[in-house]
Amino acid sequence: MLNIHLVPCLKDNYAYLVHEPATSSVAIVDPSEAAPVVAALKAHNLKLTHILNTHHHFDHTGGNLPLKEATGARIVGPRADRDRIPGIDEDVGEGDTWSLGQAKANIFDIPAHTKGHIAFWFEADKAVFTGDTMFAMGCGRLFEGTPAQMWSSLSKLAALPADTRVYCGHEYTLANGKFAVTLEPGNAALKKRLAEVERLRAEGKPTIPSTIGLERETNPFLRAESKELRKSLGLESADNVAVLAETRRRKDVF
Ligand SMILES: [Zn+2]
């Protein structure tokens, strides 16, 4: 079974140290920078074997080269953006499986935030690394893709088992929740979660991981079928992609 440790980086990024004890395999997911990762490895007395990137943005790959240089770790990233992943050794894409020691991950292509964006789903460990595609109560900005792509990408993630833990790229949960409640003020699960998130943040604690089940209940970007959300947007009879597009547009200016 995997041990997963949060590694806060930069202002609000999370990298994740993933330890597979049976073979002493250790991956860092989306290292923004090297120093906090080196400190976390030391604190847990671990030796890095792999670097996993969900997408090319600098705040997810900035630590790639210094960490590879220092540890010899092998870098794995999205095939569709191979040319933009610093130091990449192995590319993966939709339908592939990739293993960290004895822990198998299924790979999904989840484009829209960037052209090549992947998720690593460790089914047996009930964990998925979603980068900047699915956030807790939010989704990434559409820098290189369309609302239809984001709907398709988020739908793949939303279809995972409800108890799957969601490890995303940023601590944006409080701002996301404050936006979400403007669209679904009658969503009891959302209000309960927002209160919990406010408490955690007031104590300086992370709100990650989330779960797929909780996201289905509270993430407005997965809830295009909600009557209340549609009414708030004035899009009662639009298709789901149009609802997501308008939700994203409003979040961009919130
Ligand atoms: Zn990004």
Cis amide bond preceding 185, omega within 30: no
Q: Is 117 a catalytic residue?
A: no
Q: Is 60 a catalytic residue?
A: yes
> How many Cβ atoms sit within 10 Å of the Cβ of residue 42?
9
Q: Supply the mean pLDDT for the chain.
A: 98
Q: Which residue among the candidates 19, 50, 56, 170 is catalytic per the annotation?
A: 170
CB 169 within 8 A of CB 54: yes
Q: Which residue among the candidates 50, 55, 56, 117 is catalytic per the annotation?
A: 55
* pLDDT single digits (tens) 22-39: 999 999 999 999 999 999
Q: Which residue among the candidates 19, 56, 113, 117 is catalytic per the annotation?
A: 113
Q: Which residue among the candidates 19, 30, 59, 91 is catalytic per the annotation?
A: 59
Q: Which residue among the candidates 19, 56, 57, 117 is catalytic per the annotation?
A: 57
Containing H/E element for 202? Answer: helix 188-202
- Single pTM value for the model: 0.98
* pLDDT single digits (tens) 193-217: 999 999 999 999 999 999 999 999 9
Residue 122: strand pairing partners: 127
Containing H/E element for 194? Answer: helix 188-202
Q: Is 132 a catalytic residue?
A: yes
The reported pLDDT for the residue numbered 107 is 98
> How many Cβ atoms sit within 10 Å of the Cβ of residue 73?
23
* pLDDT single digits (tens) 75-134: 999 999 999 999 999 999 999 999 999 999 999 999 999 999 999 999 999 999 999 999
- Sole residue written with tokens 């198998």: 104
Q: Is 252 a catalytic residue?
A: no
Report how far residue 197's alpha carbon sits from residue 175's, in angstroms, rounded to the nearest whole number: 10
Q: Is 19 a catalytic residue?
A: no
Collapsing DSSP to helix, strand or coil, 120 comes out as: strand
Q: Is 83 a catalytic residue?
A: no
Distance (Å) of CA 61 to CA 32, 76, 124 = 5, 11, 26
The Å distance, Cα 143 to ligand 1 centre, comes to 9
Q: Is 57 a catalytic residue?
A: yes
